[in-house]
Amino acid sequence: MKNTPFTQIHIALGAKMAEFAGYNMPISYSSINEEHHTVRTNAGVFDVSHMGEFILKGDKALDLIQRVTSNDASKLTAGKAQYSCLPNEQGGIVDDLLVYCIEENKTYMLVVNASNIEKDWNWISKFNTGGVEMHNISDKTGLLAVQGPKAVQYMQQLTDMDISDLKYYTFAKGTFAGVENVLVSATGYTGAGGVEIYFEDKDGAGEKIWNEIFRVGSPAGVKPIGLAARDTLRLEMGYCLYGNDIDDTTSPLEAGLGWITKFTKDFTARPILEKQKADGITRKLVGFEMVDKGIPRHHYKIQNAEGEEIGYVTSGTQAPSLGKAIGMAYVRKDFSSEGSDIFIMIRDKAVKAQVVKMPFA
């Protein structure tokens, strides 16, 4: 397994560790509920250094990004980022990602899922016919996500950059916690506000940043948070997780990602997705709450009241903020309306649930 700049810190803190996307990662430090509530009410720190980062440079960099992503990256100016996805040639999703504009029309950073780093690199390279300079900086880039409603006010103490006024999906570069050339972005995967901190992992930069964050944060109740609470937090917001809610067989339109699918430009599988939009989708990713007692899990089958199979669960959990079980699922279009009754098959028993609007929290 690979280590992040913080692996030994996690172990020293007594975190429950496990393999995730080839990395030795902290799953939890205390209880999932406690960590979840820390982020929702105050601030918590996630080590997400396992994520992948690519730098694309050159006069044709934007053209390449436009060709392989579904969103319109031409709208980006320096200091802005956007959520997007990489459609495959069948209209499915290679991966979802963030696109950061470092220098307009010249330099971009793509942030991809840890499990898809090699896959994404090969996919983008396949379309790089214009000589775009590509650098995979994943192994030398550290990333901490400091998330929660009070995260920014704590982190502002560690930098001269004005991060307190960063608009959603914008970023700044400068000195943070005494480390130069740090990128701080107003992004995250929790819906609780906060920042993500990218830095080059050299000369002990990671440990220095970690120690400074907790120097100012610990007295205020800031805690390290594991990947388990990251999952419950993102699910309460209805955020897709690659490999669960989206994959090579699901289209962005089915997944409710039409808002990042722009038909104003040419991109992979555009004709397929345009036809899908015109004809209408036959299944849709929805949120649901359990009516009867039971915890929905990935790949549980879903039936209608007549016992006919109409879909499957993609993600499910007992939501700490809500005190109820929730999930996301692909269901037949005629059962996707808010208020529709569906039945989750849990241990061969049909357990009632109801389609609800997302986000849940």
Domain CATH code at residue 347: 2.40.30.110
**Per-residue pLDDT averaged across 227-240, rounded?**
98
Q: CA nearest 320: which of 221, 229, 244, 190?
A: 229
Is residue 3 classed as helix, strand or coil in its secondary structure?
Answer: coil
Amino acid 107: pLDDT: 98
Number of other residues whose CB lies within 10 A of the CB of residue 145: 24
| 185, part of any domain | no
| 82, part of any domain | no
DSSP letter for each residue of 177-193: TTEEEEEEES--SSSS-
Model confidence at 92, pLDDT cuts 50, 70, 90, reads: very high
**Per-residue pLDDT averaged across 42-61, rounded?**
98
| 322, part of any domain | yes
Amino acid 323: pLDDT: 95
37 vs 147: CA distance, rounded Å = 11
| 325, part of any domain | yes
Q: What is the pTM of this model?
A: 0.97
| 92, part of any domain | no
| 99, part of any domain | no
| 17, part of any domain | no
Alpha-carbon Rg of the chain, whole angstroms?
Answer: 21
What are 258-269's pLDDT values in tens digits?
999 999 999 999
Q: Which residues, including other chains, have CB under 8 Å from residue 321's CB and lie 6 or more apart?
A: 36, 37, 40, 236, 361
Q: Which residues, listed in sequence order, are joined to residue 198 by a DSSP beta bridge?
A: 143, 183
| 318, part of any domain | yes
| 359: DSSP letter | P
Asked whether the beta carbons of 27 and 16 are under 8 A apart, the reply is yes
Amino acid 1: pLDDT: 94
Model confidence at 246, pLDDT cuts 50, 70, 90, reads: very high
What are 313-328's pLDDT values in tens digits?
999 999 999 999 999 9
Give the phi and the psi of residue 230 in degrees, each rounded to 5: -60, -40
87 vs 273: CA distance, rounded Å = 9
CA-based diameter of the chain, in Å? 63
Two tokens, residue 144: 């901490």
State the residue range of the domain holding 301.
282-356
169 vs 330: CA distance, rounded Å = 28
Model confidence at 340, pLDDT cuts 50, 70, 90, reads: very high
How many domains is the chain partitioned into structurally?
1
Q: Which residues, listed in sequence order, are joined to residue 352 by a DSSP beta bridge?
A: 343
